[in-house]
Amino acid sequence: MYIDTHAHLYLKEYDNDIINVIERAKASRVDYIIVPGTDIQSSFLAADMAANYPMIYAAAGIHPHETTMWDEALIPILEEIIKNNKKIVAIGEIGLDYYYDFSPREMQIKAFRDQIELAIRVDLPVIIHNRDADEDMIRILEDYVGSGLRAQLHCYSASLSDAKKIVSMHHFISFTGNITFKKADDLRKIMSVISPEHLLLETDSPYMSPEPMRGKRNEPANVGITAKKIAEIHKTTPEDIARVTSYNAFRLFGIGRVPDTKFTYIIGHTLYINVTNRCNANCIFCLRKKEPVIAGYNLSMNASEEPPAEVYINEIGNPVNYKEIVFCGYGEPTIRWEVIKEIAAYVKAMGGNTRLNTNGHGNFINKRDITPEMKGIIDVVSISLNSTDASQYSELMNVDPSLFEEMIHFTVLAQQQVPRVVMSIVSVDDVEIDKAKNFVENVIGAEFRVREYF
Ligand code: SF4
């Protein structure tokens, strides 16, 4: 269920009880552990552990503390370790540490860049350590945009604006037990706005034990404590965090597998209905055709696999067990409006709540006004605004500009039939948000919501 992406299990702290540590990890629902090296010797040890324990994978690399005598001749040695060990899934732990400054900064930078280039060459991600070197770290990462570099920023402790830059470069961020520390409010605030889709779990064992074990030896079994804290911050469940971060580990390190397709899926206390992958639009940001996975659930299905209403109804069971039943997925649900109507009527008859997430093109798709058919079976309609400008809207969604007006008209009609209509926009800059808020509330008269994650 959990993947601890960072545990130095070859250290002497585990000499006497490594078997017990691994058994406790399994008992605590840890599926896999990544053991990163910090120098040549520990990279060999990590590789050995991976060879000996099915649940362990390894990373090979030279930590910034160990770069005082950095020599490019170490690169072929690392390459040899990687070549000979199929379970090495990353170059790491590498990076910059200006807090301790154990190695001259120019040597740290040289070693870091040389190892990044190795990672790109052998097509592996990197696991990055950064302490008080934020400016150089971001500058170096920016130098490699477009190179194929994929990274995990481990034990994150930098700023919110740096986190935004890291996510925009499609890298991953992980927090350790540091997120549970009493004085870590700033870190928790940063975490609260990073979508779980960009997070990984880690313990950094034997260091960074979470509260209430702070100061004691850490071990992978504790990764669930961090997951629980992240879930609390994101107002969701540890299961959600486990599933999403495990899928992220699959995306970055190739550990695990693509999950099976789901027709219904739970996030928090809401049940989502994966209606279709088909859509009349083709948004430039949509992952529908590339990677239709959301919150760790695989939603891919072609038209011939779309199930009838009975399948969804069976999976729903008693809808009052959920806060809401939401028609959603990677596709436009109103393409299957007849199926939605059948399911929604069942949910309402059983006392549940329904929400339709749509692009607002339902009338255009169905060639009639479907909003009167929503009366009594849909409680909330949530419409993606995407832009307040018709030509930008059309460019973003690859649709005819007339569909902007169509979407607005649909919103106005839906308000006459449904108790709540919300228009949402993904958090961009403050000026755009103010413009969208004014447009939605004062021009259209609907409720406005900003989807805040980046
Ligand atoms: S409207 Fe939604 S499902 Fe359709 S292409 Fe755009 S983002 Fe994807």
DSSP 47-90: HHHHHH-TTEEEEE---GGG-TT--TTHHHHHHHHHHH-TTEEE
154 vs 307: CA distance, rounded Å: 41
Do the domains 2-253 and 264-451 sit in the same CATH topology, yes or no? yes
Say yes or no to pLDDT of 431 above 80.
Answer: no
Say yes or no to pLDDT of 451 above 90.
Answer: no
Residues with CB under 6 A from ligand 1: 279, 281-283, 286, 288, 330-332, 359, 397
Summarize the confidence of residues 317-321 as an average pLDDT: 98
Say yes or no to pLDDT of 430 above 80.
Answer: no
Gap from CA of 223 to ligand 1 centroid (Å):
35
pLDDT attached to residue 426: 74
Write the DSSP symbol of residue 320: G
Structure tokens at 70: 């950095």
Q: What are phi and psi of 59, to 5 degrees?
A: -130, 150
What does the pLDDT look like over 239-295, one tens digit per residue?
999 999 999 999 999 999 888 999 999 999 999 999 999 999 999 888 888 889 999
**Domain assignments of the chain as residue spans, ordered by start:** 2-253, 264-451
Gap from CA of 397 to ligand 1 centroid (Å):
7
Q: What are phi and psi of 211, to 5 degrees?
A: -60, 140
Architecture of domain 264-451: Alpha-Beta Barrel (3.20)
Which of 246, 241, 248, 247 has the alpha carbon at shortest distance from 170?
Answer: 248
Are 319 and 343 within 8 A, CB to CB?
Answer: no
pLDDT attached to residue 452: 61
Are 81 and 44 within 8 A, CB to CB?
Answer: yes
Gap from CA of 367 to ligand 1 centroid (Å):
19
Say yes or no to pLDDT of 110 above 70.
Answer: yes
What does the pLDDT look like over 24-75, one tens digit per residue?
999 999 999 999 999 999 999 999 999 999 999 999 999 999 999 999 999 9
From the CA of 279, give the closest atom in ligand 1.
4
Summarize the confidence of residues 194-223 as an average pLDDT: 96
Which of 57, 40, 54, 2 has the alpha carbon at shortest distance from 174?
Answer: 2
Gap from CA of 331 to ligand 1 centroid (Å):
6
Summarize the confidence of residues 337-349 as an average pLDDT: 98
Gap from CA of 288 to ligand 1 centroid (Å):
7
**Preceding amide of 206 cis, omega within 30:** yes
Summarize the confidence of residues 8-14 as an average pLDDT: 98
Gap from CA of 358 to ligand 1 centroid (Å):
9
∠ CA 37-42-43, nearest 5°, is 55
Q: Choose the residue to mutate in 274, 283, 289 for probing ligand 1, maximizing ligand atoms within 8 Å of C-beta.
A: 283
User: DSSP of 132-149, one letter per residue?
Assistant: S-HHHHHHHHHHTTTTT-
Identify the residue whose C-alpha is closest to ligand 1 atom 7. Answer: 286
Percent of the chain topping pLDDT 90: 90
What residues have CB less than 8 Å from 117, skipping those under 6 apart?
none
Identify the residue whose C-alpha is closest to ligand 1 atom 2. Answer: 331
Summarize the confidence of residues 110-116 as an average pLDDT: 98
pTM here is: 0.88
What does the pLDDT look like over 394-421, one tens digit per residue?
999 999 999 999 999 999 999 999 999 9
Identify the residue whose C-alpha is closest to ligand 1 atom 3. Answer: 331
Q: Choose the residue to mutate in 272, 274, 279 for probing ligand 1, maximizing ligand atoms within 8 Å of C-beta.
A: 279
- pLDDT tier at 195 (50, 70, 90 boundaries)? very high
- pLDDT tier at 323 (50, 70, 90 boundaries)? very high
Domain 2-253 carries which CATH code?
Answer: 3.20.20.140
pLDDT attached to residue 427: 62
Radius of gyration of the chain (CA): 24
Are 396 and 386 within 8 A, CB to CB?
Answer: yes
Gap from CA of 27 to ligand 1 centroid (Å):
41
From the CA of 329, give the closest atom in ligand 1.
3
Across the chain, what does the average pLDDT equal? Answer: 95
Number of Cβ within 10 Å of residue 177's Cβ equals 25
Summarize the confidence of residues 219-230 as an average pLDDT: 98
Say yes or no to pLDDT of 305 above 80.
Answer: yes
Say yes or no to pLDDT of 428 above 70.
Answer: no
Say yes or no to pLDDT of 453 above 70.
Answer: no
Gap from CA of 284 to ligand 1 centroid (Å):
9
Which is more confident, 324 or 439?
Answer: 324
